[in-house]
Structure 1
Amino acid sequence: MKKTLILVRHATAEDQSFRIKDFDRNLNNKGLAESAAMGKWFAANDIKPDIFISSPASRALKTAEIIAEELGVNVSSINLQPAIYDGGPRAYLGAVTGVSENFTILVLFGHNPDITYFAEYLSGANLGSMKKGGAAFIEFENQKWEEISAKTGNLTLYKTPKQVQGDE
């Protein structure tokens, strides 16, 4: 059975400053618009993840919540994985391999550079650096979530907010 992993880098956040901890940085107006555009694009293309996993950092969680709302998904069902915030690509792998086999489409919201490294690790593709709010779609044929590892997936699509805002 085919599995689809959608990796979403959080949308544009407020700049880092000494007054605010990195973990607590919120989306700025551009980031709110990017998240809504991606959510609308997901809905228009009938992309319906079975499970949402997110870093608990404000900017990643808000990106997840806005996309969930656009898809009519209850935001309380978003699964928070604290290790994604600063645990490196290994934390991303742990979040994915721990998912129940009942789910076939997983969307995971995280941070650069780890999310780009993770997408490249799984697919062997060269993404450079994922854009803020960008989504990488990686498909796995005949694999269980727990079996996913290096170069076992196929990058089938990469979309950015700028691309989908141009589609409207």
Structure 2
Amino acid sequence: MKTLALFRHAKSDWSDARARDFDRPLNERGQRGARAMGGWIKATGRQFDRMIASPAVRAAETVEEASKAWGCTFKVEWDRRIYLASSATLIDVLKELEGEPDSVLMVGHNPGLEDLIFDLVPDDGSSPLRDVVEQKFPTATFAVIELDASRWADVTEGCGRLVELKRPRDLDPALGPQLID
């Protein structure tokens, strides 16, 4: 069995309309969300053999902020293919992992991460957490999927079970959506 954790980048800053999408940094709420999630991941005691991430600024800053709260730094493998990737591309990235790590943390973007959950976790009514993802997979959300695969090259659609899902607003309601009356 392999374990795949997915961490969507935190809330990004849209104030500079001229900035390239790739170069958008986190906004203040995003920094708080990434730190909150990093602290929560630390509290769970989860460990990862590898971290692969999109090199987009908002993903890199999410790793940086979460690592501060986590209390450690990670050797990150930056893979540009993760930036705005489809689920199929993300599965290819996983299939090409070398060294057969047991657990991998992938930091990336939607809709790819959300679609990856939909492709890996069967839609058979057995996963209440998958139903939550169908509503929304917000920024800075963390999910863990157990994969019925002995090698990363064996990862296929429907081979996963979503066992954990945490959104920033689950930790602090102020990190949730900003509702307008």
2:150 aligned to which of 135, 143, 147: 143
List per-residue Cα deviations over 1:8-27 (Å, max 9, x = no partner).
Answer: 11110011643211100000
**2:105 equivalent in structure 1:** 107
SS of alignment partner, residue 118 of structure 1: helix
CA contact (8 A) 1:101 1:144 kept: no
RMSD: 1.7
Secondary structure of the residue aligned to 2:10 is coil
- For 2:17 and 2:5, the matched residues in 1 are separated by 33
TM-score by length of 2: 0.83
Aligned residue in 1 for 2:94: 96
- Cα shift at 1:101: 4.3
Q: 1:20 — aligned with what?
A: 19
| Superposed CA offset, 1:59-95 (max 9, x none) | 11111222234334434x1011101113322221122
Q: Secondary structure at the match of 1:47?
A: coil
SS in 2 for 1:86: coil
Given the two structures, how large is their TM-score scaled by the length of structure 1?
Answer: 0.89
Listed one character per residue, the Cα deviations across residues 118-146 of structure 1 (whole Å, up to 9, x for unaligned) are: 11111123422311100111001352111
**DSSP-derived class of the 1:93 partner:** helix
Paired position in structure 2 for 1:8 = 7
Give ranges in structure 1 of 5+ residues lacking alignment: none
Q: Among residues 137, 141, 144, which one is paired with 1:134 in the alignment?
A: 141
- Give the secondary structure class of the aligned counterpart of 1:136: strand
1:94–1:65 CA distance, 2 compared to 1 (3 A): farther
Q: Which residue of 1 aligns with 2:40?
A: 41
When Rg is computed on C-alpha atoms for both structures, the one with the higher figure is 2
Code of the residue aligned with 1:65 in structure 2: it is E
Partners of 1:161 and 1:44 in 2: CA distance: 14
Which residue in the other structure is 1:52 paired with? 51
What percentage of residue pairs aligned between the two structures are identical?
27
Which AA in structure 2 matches 1:151?
G
The equivalent of 1:65 in structure 2 is 64
- The AA in structure 2 aligned to 1:135 is F
The alignment status of 1:155 with 2:162, answered yes or no, reads yes
1:121 corresponds to which residue?
119
CA drift of 1:98 comes to: 1.6
Comparing 82-91 and 115-124, the one that deviates more: 82-91
User: How many Å separate the matches in 1 of 2:93 and 2:85?
Assistant: 11
Give the total of aligned pairs.
164
